[in-house]
Amino acid sequence: MLFLGQVGGAGGQQEEPSMRYQSPRGTHDILPAETPRWRALERRFTALCQRYGYREIRTPLFEQTDLFARTVGETSDLVTKQMYTFEDPGGDRFTLRAEGTAPALRAYLEHSLAGQSPLVKLSYVCPIFRYERPQAGRYRQHHQVGIEVLGSQDPAVDAEVIAFGAAYLADLGITGYTLKLNSVGCPACRPNHRDALRSAVHQHLGDLCADCQRRFDENPLRMLDCKRERCGELLANAPGSAEYLCEECGTHFARLRELLDALGIEYELDARLVRGLDYYTKTAFEFMHTAGLGAQSAIIGGGRYDGLIEECGGKPTPGIGFGSGIERVLLVRQALGVDDGLSDEIDAFVITLGAGARVAGLRLLAELRAAGLSADTDYLGRSLKSQMKEAHRQNARFALIAGEDELARGVVAVRSMQDSEQTEVPTSAVVEHVKSAKPDSEVDPR
Ligand code: HAM
C-alpha cells in the first residue's frame, strides 16, 4: 500500500527500474486501497456542511495568474516561488489553483451571488498545486476541504468558522490538536506593527537570512514566519501584532475570544501567528497536530480577509474561512489509529461450475447486484479451489456455489465464509437469504 507520507513520483523513493513513467515528484496516486478513507472524510465534511448551512462551489482547475498574484500578495512565497503558471496556446497566462479562497471569491463576484443573499456560505473540496520541496505532509499537489463566509463582520461568524473546524476534527476522531489564534490587525493598525518590527530587528538586519532581509523591506510581518533557527532567535523578542491593534480590531478580537470561551473551544493565543498569504485581516488561526506530521503540523489554516473582495473588484465585503489539507488529516488519523476500517467486504462471490451453470450463475449475479448487494464472480475459468480462494481474497460474506448438479435440483449451495457452514437454498430464495444476513444499517435502501 502507498502511504501518504511516502512521496511518490519521479525522483521519489519507490523507483521501479522497469517503469518508464512515474507520477510527477510531490504528487501521489490515490490507490483503490486508499480511496475509502478519502470518501469517508469527504462524506463527513459534506454532512457537516449541510448541518452548518454551507453550499458547495466548484471552480476551474486554473485561473488567470493575476487573480492569485493580486490577492495572495505579489511578494508572498506562494506567488514568487510556488505557482504552476503556464501560457496557453492563445498566449494567456494561467495558474493551476494555488489556493481555494481567491477562486471562490472570483466566482462569487462573477455570478453576483451577493444578489441572491447578503450572507453567502460556501464550501469546497479540491486539489491545490504548489511548487514546494516535497516531504511527509507537504506535496506539490495536495487536496483541501474548505469553507468561506462572505458578507458579515460579526465576530460570531469567526466563532462559527472556528467551531466548524473543531467539529470537523471531532467528527474524524481527531483529538490532541492545538488551536492557535491571533489577530493580524487591519490596514489601519498594521503599519504601526510593521514599524515596531523594523525597529526591533534593525540592528541585526545583516544577520537575518536573505529572504528575511527582503521581507524587512517588503513585508516585515512575514519575518515572524521564518523557519530558520537564526532568524527565530533574532526575532524572539520582536513585538506581536496583538499589541498594536486599533480599537476596532481589538474589540473584534476580544469578542471572538469571549464567544470561543462560551462555546467551550480551547485556544492558545499566539501573537506571532502570521499566515503565509497576504490577504488576512483581524482573525488568523491554525489547528496544529504533531502526530504523523513532523514539521508540517498545520491541519487547518484560516482567517478573516475583509479587504479581499474589494481587491478582486467587488464592493467592500467582509469574509472569513479556512482550508484544511486532506492528506495531513489522513496522516494524523493514521497516526492516532482512528482510521476508518476499510469496508472492502463484498456480500457474495458466485462460483459457477461447468459450462451449463454459467448463464444461471451470471443471472444470479445480476439479481444480487440489482437488489443492492455487492457481488462478484470468476472470469478466468478457474477451478473450484481457486474460485474459493478468490472469494476469501475478496472478503466475501458468502460463496454461492452454482454447479450443474445443484441447478438441476433448483438449489444453490450457500457457504458462509465466516464459519464455513454450507446449506442448500432454493435458487429463487438466494438473494433474500444473502440480504437477510446483512446488518440492516448496511442494506442499500433502494
Ligand atoms: P493555507 O494555510 O495555505 O491556507 O492552506 C490550508 C491548509 O492546507 C494547511 O493548513 C495545510 O493543512 C494544507 N496544505 C497547505 N499546503 C500544503 C502542501 N503543500 N501539502 C499538503 N497540505 C498542504 C489557504 O490555502 C487558505 N486559502 C485558507 C483559507 C480559506 N483562508 C481563508 N479561507
> 111-145: buried (b, 16+ CB within 10 Å) or exposed (e) per residue?
eebbeeeeebbbbbbbebbbbbebebbbbbbbbbb
The grid coordinates listed for 329 are 488529516
Superfamily of segment(s) 35-189+245-336: Bira Bifunctional Protein; Domain 2 (3.30.930.10)
**H or E element in which residue 287 lies:** strand 281-288
Phi and psi for 154 in degrees, rounded to 5? -65, 125
Residue 246 or residue 339, greater confidence:
246
Which residue, judged by its Cα, is nearest atom 6 of ligand 1?
A: 323
From 41, 54, 59, 99, the mutation candidate for ligand 1 (largest count of ligand atoms within 8 A of CB) is: 99
| Beta carbon of 27 within 6 Å of any ligand 1 atom | no
- pTM of the predicted model as reported, rounded to 2 decimal places: 0.89
Which residue, judged by its Cα, is nearest atom 7 of ligand 1?
A: 324
Which residue, judged by its Cα, is nearest atom 22 of ligand 1?
A: 325
**218 band by pLDDT with thresholds 50, 70 and 90:** confident
For the chain, the domains span 35-189+245-336, 346-437
Which residue, judged by its Cα, is nearest atom 16 of ligand 1?
A: 138
**444 band by pLDDT with thresholds 50, 70 and 90:** low
| 8-62: pLDDT as tens digits | 455 445 555 677 899 999 999 999 889 989 999 999 999 999 999 999 999 999 9
| 363-387: pLDDT as tens digits | 999 999 999 999 999 999 999 999 9
What's the confidence (pLDDT) of residue 92?
A: 97
| Beta carbon of 299 within 6 Å of any ligand 1 atom | yes
Q: Residue 300 C-alpha to ligand 1 middle, in angstroms? A: 7
Question: Would you put residue 53 in left (φ > 0), alpha (ψ -120 to 50) or beta?
Answer: left
What's the confidence (pLDDT) of residue 3?
A: 45
| Beta carbon of 155 within 6 Å of any ligand 1 atom | no
The grid coordinates listed for 228 are 530558520
| Beta carbon of 130 within 6 Å of any ligand 1 atom | yes
Closest ligand 1 atom to Cα of 132: 19
Determine the Cα–Cα distance for residues 164 and 363; give it in Å rounded to an integer.
48
**H or E element in which residue 47 lies:** helix 35-52
What's the confidence (pLDDT) of residue 440?
A: 63
| 244-270: pLDDT as tens digits | 999 999 999 999 999 999 999 999 999
Residue 211 or residue 44, greater confidence:
44
Q: Residue 332 C-alpha to ligand 1 middle, in angstroms? A: 16
| Beta carbon of 138 within 6 Å of any ligand 1 atom | yes
Amino acid at 334: Q
State how beta strands 411-416 and 422-426 pair.
Answer: antiparallel
Q: Residue 365 C-alpha to ligand 1 middle, in angstroms? A: 45
Which residue, judged by its Cα, is nearest atom 14 of ligand 1?
A: 325
What's the confidence (pLDDT) of residue 187?
A: 93
CATH code assigned to 346-437: 3.40.50.800
